[in-house]
Structure 1
Amino acid sequence: MYFLLIGVAALLLKYMEIGPVATLSWWIVLSPFALAVAWWAWADKSGYTKRREIDKMAKRKQHRIDRQRDAMGMLSAKKRK
């Protein structure tokens, strides 16, 4: 996501000819988009994206269980703090 933000900012600066970005080559200005594609390909291939999704779901599930236990008065003293 950061690569996309950097790429859009660089693209706007290049198009509007603002600052030192105006003198840069288009290849350099567009390179963050290629890096974003490479990052997403690596994240999907390595399983990084899926692991983050599973971790997020596990945290959400545990929060829901803790909330229900607290409502029933079954939450341990350690977790009440």
Structure 2
Amino acid sequence: MPLIIAIVLLTVLKYFEVGPVADLSWWWIAGLFAFAFLWFEFGERMLGRDKRKAHEQLEKARQERVKKTFK
């Protein structure tokens, strides 16, 4: 998520030509977009982060159901 926030911030700063980002090429920002896409499409899958997050969410929901049942 910090990567997406940084990309959006850089895009806004470049669009409004603020500070040293005004001289930055649009290709750098487009490259960051491409890197973020590749990371979220392939990098997280290869490291298993996508399934780990889904498993954690399911486990949390299960624990909440157990708490409700035994209260």
Fold match (TM-score > 0.5) = yes
TM-score (norm 1): 0.71
The residue identity in structure 2 corresponding to 1:25 is: S
Any stretches of 5+ residues in structure 2 without a counterpart? none
Aligned-residue offset at 1:47: 2.2
Task: Answer with 1 or 2: which has the greater Rg.
Answer: 1
Whole-angstrom distance in 2 between the partners of 1:4 and 1:59: 26
Matches within 5 A, 1:23-42: 23-40=23-40, 41-42=42-43
Aligned-residue offset at 1:30: 2.6
Percent identity, aligned pairs only, is: 34
Moved over 6 A (4+): none
The residue identity in structure 2 corresponding to 1:27 is: W
Number of aligned residue pairs: give it. 70
Aligned-residue offset at 1:54: 1.0
Any stretches of 5+ residues in structure 1 without a counterpart? 71-81
TM-score (norm 2): 0.79
